[in-house]
Structure 1
Amino acid sequence: MKYLNALRNQWIAARGWMFCTLLLAGLLIYLLQSYVQLSANMPTRLVPYDLHLMDGPVEVGASADYTDASYLTEIAIADAQLHSNWTPRNVQKQYARFQNRMTPALYAKVGNDLQARIPDLEKSERTQALFVEGTEALDDTVRVYGRLRAWHGTEQIEDESVSYRVRYSFSGGVPYVAGFSLEDK
């Protein structure tokens, strides 16, 4: 009888470890999924290029000592491409990222129009890309110009010269798009 009790105890102990292992595996899967979802939806904070040289917090803005035109220009190029580079599959993500970069005032003005365009663009076969040729920075405004090419399927339907004017306002040291317009030729 002692042998059967010892075997029974080992069976119960093994089931307990199996249950704990399955419970921890389920918890691990849940945490990994939530971390992946959190990292996909996390807003990005732009860091000044020379942050490692500073002794304390760095203010980034049009009037800050450490903001230069090249930093704002790189941000403007990225913002113009968020607006202009898309395919039917990623147009919603691109526009959402662009809207995340807007000030609340600009979002209130043009955010709904961008959202309204998304279903039509997702159903179309149009793909477009902005090829940046140059930039000009003036205080808190950057002019980004280049060629905007569009394709319908595999056939190129547009190839035109465009110029965007991107104006920034700074909140908490972070530049946000306060104005975005297509310049007339």
Structure 2
Amino acid sequence: MSLLKASAIILLALLIACQESQSERISSDPAKVLDEPTSQEAITSYSIDTAAILKNIRLDALLADVQSANLLPQKAVSNLPSVVNNFLHEKVEDFAIVNPEEDFQSTDIMTGNLPRRRLMYLGVADDIVLLAYELGGFGLSERVLIFKLNEHQITDFWTGSVKGKLQTKDEIVTYLRKNKNSKNKYWALNTNTIYF
């Protein structure tokens, strides 16, 4: 690997780490969508399988689960199941996201104490959660997260980047299937790192 390429990778990792450390907030008083355990009971011990995510190893199976699930679309981040909310807060200090149409920190120019994430789509079923949001900071991007659940525990997880504001389950599934094997760096779902 060339020194220039290694330096660029290190710089990108540092920029992402700096963005994640910014102070953010999440909506309070979440409405329960599922019959969920309390916050203490919903703490997850799921470990991210980085290689499986970056190589899209289980993505086809997760997309099949998403496609067949009767997802209930949610308009508010307060409807995020607590096990997913806890997982995100465990992986990203002060994870915060706002509802669609609310102001968020879409660029790296600070305009107040706004979260860097804004909800595009949230679909919830008993055993699957599909989450898509815009991520601001050093460049605006869009993220998709899929959570497979079993009795309020995460059993599988995938995340990746998308291009454009995908706002329905069908748009998200179609995009992911079309681009999961892309060799084009610009359209690929993941590069060499996982971030939220």
Query: Do the structures match in fold with TM over 0.5?
Result: no
More strand by share: 1
- Give TM-score scaled by structure 1 length: 0.30
Scaled by the length of structure 2, the TM-score of the pair is 0.28
Query: Relative CO higher for 1 or 2, CA cutoff 8 Å, sep ≥ 6?
Result: 2
Q: Who wins on radius of gyration, i.e. which is larger?
A: 1
